[in-house]
């Protein structure tokens, strides 16, 4: 875990106080928090709780209900609400790094996906973050089989959402309850120094609206990860740090209109949704949510991470499943780096660099000789490829087309040659700040295991 940094909150506090006077929006109220909910209800556990034992990695989680009166986005009406959060935090205060990530869960599938905290989970736990599954939108509460009101009508009887126009104020009030609890403390006494907000795809678009329309007066969020959605354009520059993370699927030649508190990272080869997410949802979370399977050990989690992190170095049938999991470029590395760099930016005031831009041929994303994206931040699997990443197919997903043995040997006559190139590219990505050292080590372990593609399992160990 990296040392705790000093919060960098002065600008946010000044903007919040000034913004409230400009817009007339009242200070964010502190909602009522109930819980932990425990093993109540028919299913005896929370929907979307951890499918593995967090205690094995020094963490715990608890579900809470959050209630109050929320304003609509225009501030012209109020309505009662009761939603829920799942707080995952270190067991020991000494492990907590002071930062809480609020994940505005994605509801495109008409049930919730906590995309960013799933992609970055290894880093979040390693670095001592707390992270919160936030049921911000109405579709995350009801009414499909994998929403709380239907999944366990006894446990979730109290939940009531007035509609997505109120989700912004609900999100603010949840942040207020995390930072400055009144009554039940969802953080169980841990001292919160920074609150980050993240959201992917549809959630990113909601967070962009929150950032531009609510944050100037609410002032309860210290930094934003806008992932796979939102806009590069701001009427006024963001009041707090914003890291905008985009895949091939969101590629556009349009230019950001500000660099103040805004950094853009475009990740070449990546898809809107990917193998890591699909594999975890099917083989990790799926049995827990669908059939109430008992929580497994952390070693089972690590095994799912090992398989789910496939970037095409090993053949797997799910590489061809377009929407479910086919796109194997490892966006989870970029998400982890982005969250950690955002946290450091908020804590120290030192901003990361913006990444190089995607390359375009006219209005279309330019492709290299292998069919992979040109330009952007280029992590090793796209610059030392063993597969083609058809990253914009199927809109939400894509396909991974592993190179044939003939293609591989033409590019890299031996596995040792391939590994040497991967090692050089990995060190360059780490030194440039695009890849965390721990993820670089993970990537090289995978590159070493790729010797099976050259049918060289008995070859000299990687070095």
358-374 pLDDT per residue, tens:
999 988 999 999 999 99
Query: Is the per-residue pLDDT at 6 higher than 60?
Result: no
- Residues linked to residue 223 through DSSP beta bridges, in sequence order: 196
Mean pLDDT value of segment 102-108: 96
Spell out the domain ranges in the chain.
10-230, 275-454
Average pLDDT rounded to a whole number, residues 191-218: 97
pLDDT tens, 60-89?
A: 999 999 999 999 999 999 999 999 999 999
Average pLDDT rounded to a whole number, residues 36-42: 97
pLDDT digits (tens, 9 = 90+) for 375-418: 999 999 999 999 999 988 887 788 999 999 999 999 999 999 99
CA-to-CA distance for 22 and 216, rounded, in angstroms? Answer: 9
Nearest to 368 by CA among 382, 349, 354: 382
Look-up of token digits 């061809």:
320
What's the predicted TM-score (pTM) here? 0.93
- Output the furthest CA–CA distance in the chain (Å, rounded): 70
- pLDDT given at position 459: 59
Q: Which pLDDT belongs to residue 319?
A: 86
Q: What are the b/e assignments for 278-291, b being 16+ CB within 10 Å?
A: bbbbbbbbeebbee
C-alpha to C-alpha distance for 236 and 312, rounded to whole angstroms: 42
* pLDDT at position 2 over 70: no
HSE of 330, CA atoms in CB hemisphere, 13 A:
28
Long-range contacts of 288-294 (CB under 8 A, 24+ apart): 288/49, 288/51, 289/47, 289/48, 289/51, 289/146, 289/151, 292/43, 292/44, 292/45, 293/51
Angle formed by the axes of helices 437-449 and 415-432, nearest 10°: 170
* pLDDT band per the 50, 70, 90 thresholds, residue 457: low
Separation of alpha carbons 198 and 221, rounded Å: 10
Instruction: Please report which confidence band the pLDDT of residue 458 belongs to, taking 50, 70 and 90 as the band edges.
Output: low
pLDDT of residue 461: 78
């Amino acid at each position: 875990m990296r040392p705790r940094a000093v919060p960098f909150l002065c600008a946010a506090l000044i903007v919040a106080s000034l913004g409230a006077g400009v817009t007339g929006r009242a200070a964010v109220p502190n909602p009522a928090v109930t819980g932990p909910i425990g093993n109540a209800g028919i299913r005896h556990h929370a929907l979307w709780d951890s499918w593995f034992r967090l205690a094995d990695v020094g963490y715990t989680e608890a579900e809470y209900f959050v209630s109050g009166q929320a304003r609509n986005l225009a501030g012209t009406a109020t309505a009662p609400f009761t939603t829920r959060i799942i707080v995952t935090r270190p067991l020991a205060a000494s492990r907590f790094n002071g930062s809480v990530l609020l994940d505005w869960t994605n509801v495109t599938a008409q049930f919730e996906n906590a995309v960013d905290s799933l992609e970055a989970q290894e880093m979040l736990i390693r670095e001592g973050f707390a992270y919160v599954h936030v049921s911000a939108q109405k579709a995350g509460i009801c009414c499909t089989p994998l929403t709380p009101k239907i999944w366990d009508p006894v446990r979730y009887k109290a939940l009531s959402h007035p509609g997505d126009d109120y989700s912004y104020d609900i999100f603010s009030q949840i942040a207020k309850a995390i930072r400055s609890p009144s009554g039940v403390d969802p953080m169980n006494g841990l001292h919160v120094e920074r609150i980050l907000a993240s959201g992917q795809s549809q959630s990113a678009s909601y967070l962009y609206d929150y950032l531009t329309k609510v944050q100037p007066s609410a002032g309860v969020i210290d930094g934003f990860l806008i992932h796979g959605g939102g806009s590069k354009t701001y009427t006024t520059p963001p009041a707090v740090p914003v890291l905008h993370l985009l895949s091939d699927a969101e590629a556009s030649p349009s230019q950001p209109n500000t660099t103040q508190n805004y950094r853009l990272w475009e990740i070449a080869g990546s898809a809107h949704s990917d193998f890591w997410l699909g594999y975890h949802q099917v083989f990790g979370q799926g049995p827990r949510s669908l059939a109430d399977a008992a929580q497994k050990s952390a070693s089972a989690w690590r095994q799912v991470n090992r398989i789910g992190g496939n970037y095409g170095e090993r053949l797997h049938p799910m590489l061809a499943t377009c929407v479910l999991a086919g796109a194997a470029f490892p966006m989870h590395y970029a998400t982890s780096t982005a969250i950690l760099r955002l946290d450091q930016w908020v804590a120290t005031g030192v901003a990361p660099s913006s990444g190089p831009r995607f390359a375009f041929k006219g209005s279309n994303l330019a492709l290299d000789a292998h069919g992979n994206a040109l330009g952007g931040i280029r992590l090793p699997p796209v610059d030392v490829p063993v597969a083609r990443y058809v990253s914009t197919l199927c809109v939400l997903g894509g396909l991974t087309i592993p190179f044939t043995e003939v293609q591989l040997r033409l590019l890299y006559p031996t596995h040792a040659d391939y590994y040497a190139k991967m090692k050089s590219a990995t060190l360059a990505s780490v030194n440039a700040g695009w890849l965390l050292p721990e993820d670089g080590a993970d990537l090289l372990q995978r590159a070493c295991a790729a010797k099976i593609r050259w049918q060289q399992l008995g070859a000299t160990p990687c070095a």
